[in-house]
Amino acid sequence: MPETVVLLNPRDLVVDAARRLGLAVVVVLAPGGADPGPVPGLLLRSPWTTDPGGLVARLRELDLPGPVACFGFGEAGCSAAAVVNERMGWPGARPGTLETFRDKAKLRAAVGDRAGVPVAHGVGDTLAELGRAITHIGFPCIVKPADGTGSAGVTRLDGPADAAAWLAGPELDRPHLVEEFLRGTEYSVEAMSSPRGHRILAVTEKATTGAPHFVETGHTLPVDLGAGPAAAVADLVAATLDAAGYHYGVSHTEVMLTDAGPRLIESHGRPGGDRISDMLRLALGEDVFEQTMAIVFDRPMTTDGPARRRVAGIRYITFPGDTPVPEVDVAAVAALPGIVEAHLSATPGARPPAVRQSRDRHGFVIAAGDTREELETHLARAVAAFTRGS
């Protein structure tokens, strides 16, 4: 009897991965969830994002033949799947593990001294507590929601005047973290974990808008850090995942490579956002969805290393804020050499939003190439086509 997967708002790539593994598929769509196309199995509609208990009740009624596991590969999906798996007694990551990832202060406390010199930080539920933490950490420092995602709410404070202005804002609706400002080069590390250990899939180079919000504007993978730094980064990631108790599937860990070695920024028990999973598949043939499902069902891994060695990247489009967004022939951009996908988020003819968090970005292009130079040529040509307009 084949194993069954319950997939929460899956992309078509997730459904395809389940089919390749020969798994029976149950797709669960929340209201407004994107249809992944033809579903090779049962389709349910459930408000699982707000009522995972209701989904559990429906799944109990179905009495699915085992073994069964639930999977979600976004921030909300991973959390809901963990709740479902725990209540149903199915395998997979547990809610407590993912809570450790979401609470950045809790994760730093769990990692402790396992990974070398810890990042100085403090946490507060009130502005008064944060004021004391800012004084303790000193300037410059970063303030951000302890459970934030997508660069939302991230602010750099460079001195007392910045701190006073920030603290004069509205009362907090959730805990915030204050941490020392790290100087170096920021990377993300994509890894695959099983009860047998952790495997680094790729180190991803990132670009951001810089201070004050540090919104990500591009990613490139894989990059070679050199033997020594790569080993130190791998040790830091393994220590972080062990501290969180994470042993089932893909993770995304952000680190700063400083002159004194790598330092942890944050980690997540899910695939990296910004289409990093797509780029892993394009560049290295690493399918994180297929591998995660195989690990949870204790199947032999379909790969233990890259199936190919290319380079992939994404670049986000930013239009000037003082002029309307131009008309763009997105299909023509997507047809350019090396381009895999192009997307326009901003509305043509309207003034684009200021980019203060990830969801404000105006569009993107994804490309692949045999070398970094070829990749950058493809991306630059596509970005130029976007900014010129039709």
361, 318 in Cβ contact below 8 A?
yes
pLDDT digits (tens, 9 = 90+) for 193-231: 999 999 999 999 999 988 777 899 999 999 999 999 999
With H, G, I as helix, E, B as strand and everything else as coil, classify residue 203. Answer: strand
Of the candidate ranges 4-8, 86-90, 190-194, 305-309, the one whose mean pLDDT is the lowest = 305-309
What is the average pLDDT across 317-341? Answer: 94
With H, G, I as helix, E, B as strand and everything else as coil, classify residue 311. Answer: strand
Can you give the pLDDT at residue 94? 93
Confidence at 114, pLDDT banded by 50, 70, 90: low
Distance CA 324, CA 321 (A): 8
pLDDT digits (tens, 9 = 90+) for 37-70: 777 789 999 999 999 999 999 999 999 988 999 9
pTM above 0.85, yes or no: yes
What is the average pLDDT across 91-110? Answer: 87
Of the candidate ranges 146-160, 238-252, 284-298, the one whose mean pLDDT is the lowest = 146-160
What is the average pLDDT across 7-30? Answer: 94
What is the average pLDDT across 83-95? Answer: 95
Q: Where would I find the H helices in 264-335? A: 276-284, 288-296, 330-334
pLDDT digits (tens, 9 = 90+) for 337-364: 999 999 999 999 999 999 988 899 999 9
pLDDT digits (tens, 9 = 90+) for 371-390: 999 999 999 999 999 988 65
What is the average pLDDT across 307-322? Answer: 92
Residue 71, beta-bridge partner list? 7
Can you give the pLDDT at residue 108? 79
Distance CA 247, CA 195 (A): 5
Q: What is the mean pLDDT of the chain?
A: 90
